[in-house]
Amino acid sequence: FTVGNLGIASAAQGDLQTSRICLQYHLNSAQRQKHLLGDTKFASHTLKAVSNNAYHRLGQVSASDGRLDEAASHFAKAMDVAKSKGDQQNEEKSGAMLGIARGLSNFDKHLEHLMQSSKELVPA
């Protein structure tokens, strides 16, 4: 869990690359632990808890770094994990962030379309 905390602290200090690396390592470690322990309740619960938090944090880091498609992917995974464990609050939180990331990733295209439309409406 220390590596996950380092990822959170790095993000708070603006070091997004270190944060991304630490959070991904934390997630991979939890997945390896689940593989080693097998299909026990403890391993499954731990993996879901770590995955939900890590994916959501990775989404936040990616969004802060302008990687909106990557952020949307992480938020979608966090939402799926939260749903699988019956965590409605985190499912809704990740779902909201997913919508924001998708909206922002398409905003430039939408703005460009509006600008083109307004040029067509104004007589030359």
67-112 tens-digit pLDDT = 999 999 999 999 999 999 999 999 999 999 999 999 998 887 878 8
Homologous superfamily of domain range 2-121: Tetratricopeptide repeat domain (1.25.40.10)
Q: In whole angstroms, give the CA distance from residue 35 to residue 42.
A: 12
Indicate the pLDDT class of residue 114, thresholds 50, 70 and 90.
confident
Distance CA 120, CA 107 (A): 20
Where residue 38 falls (left for φ over 0; alpha for ψ -120 to 50; beta otherwise) is: left
The domain ranges of the chain are 2-121
- Residue 73 CB neighbour total at 10 angstroms: 17
Q: How many CB atoms lie within 10 A of CB 106?
A: 11
Q: Does the pTM exceed 0.75?
A: yes
